[in-house]
Amino acid sequence: MKHLSLSGSKRTTGRKADVREVRSEGKVPCVIYGNGVENVSFSVDAKALKALTDTPYCHIVDLDVDGQKYTALLHEVQYHPVNDKALHADFLAVGEDKPVVVEVPVLISGNSVGVRAGGKLQVSRRKLKICGLLANLPDDLTVDVTPLAIGKRITAGDLKFDNISIVNPKATIIVSCLSTRNAVAAADSEAASESAE
């Protein structure tokens, strides 16, 4: 998984005025916790944070707060309900030796047998939660749909990847191939030609 460097500055807490001042400076109030780290309140540049929030990909964050280094994951972001600006971000401190759970994008590859027969591919999940050590986390999960026939589906339980496990329930549908009128017409035509022979 890709790393992204982010710098922050410690901030005072306890008063709403402090938070308003941070935001007025074009920064986002943040906190980091977990992995034996005491809660540290800090702020980061709002534009720099967008590199983490405005992407479907998850990153391992190399966080520097006034010279103190942390390895972290972006855990949660609160947004303004009207203008969609980030109001607050939570970071989770992680270590190289403990498994973590992250959400990564699903990439669909291949040309489905069912689609070639007139079916329609329906992608139900664009992301999946996985668990593994930091060193083993992929940027995304590639799902090959080539053998997928009409009426068939691929679930989380069908997927196997080295050194990681999928956290979503095994019955979670990732992608399916639906029947369409074209597919039915093609099947009827094929059946008619076979009976005529």
Tell whether 111 and 88 lie within a shared domain: no
Residues 142 and 82 in one domain: no
* pLDDT (tens place) for every residue of the chain, 197 residues total: 999 999 999 987 767 778 888 888 999 999 999 888 889 999 999 999 999 999 989 999 999 999 999 999 999 999 989 988 899 999 999 998 999 999 999 999 999 999 999 999 999 999 999 999 999 999 999 999 999 999 999 999 999 999 999 999 999 999 999 988 765 555 555 555 555 45
Q: How far apart are CA 38 and CA 153, in angstroms?
A: 45
| Residue after which a domain boundary falls, among 52, 80, 95 | 95
Check if the beta carbon of residue 142 is closer than 8 Å to that of residue 128: no
The reply to whether 139 and 169 lie within a common domain is yes
User: Residue 129: which domain range?
Assistant: 101-196
Q: What is the CATH number of the domain that holds 165?
A: 2.170.120.20
The domain boundary, picked from 66, 95, 124, lies at: 95
| Prediction pTM value | 0.81
At which of 41, 72, 95 does a domain end?
95
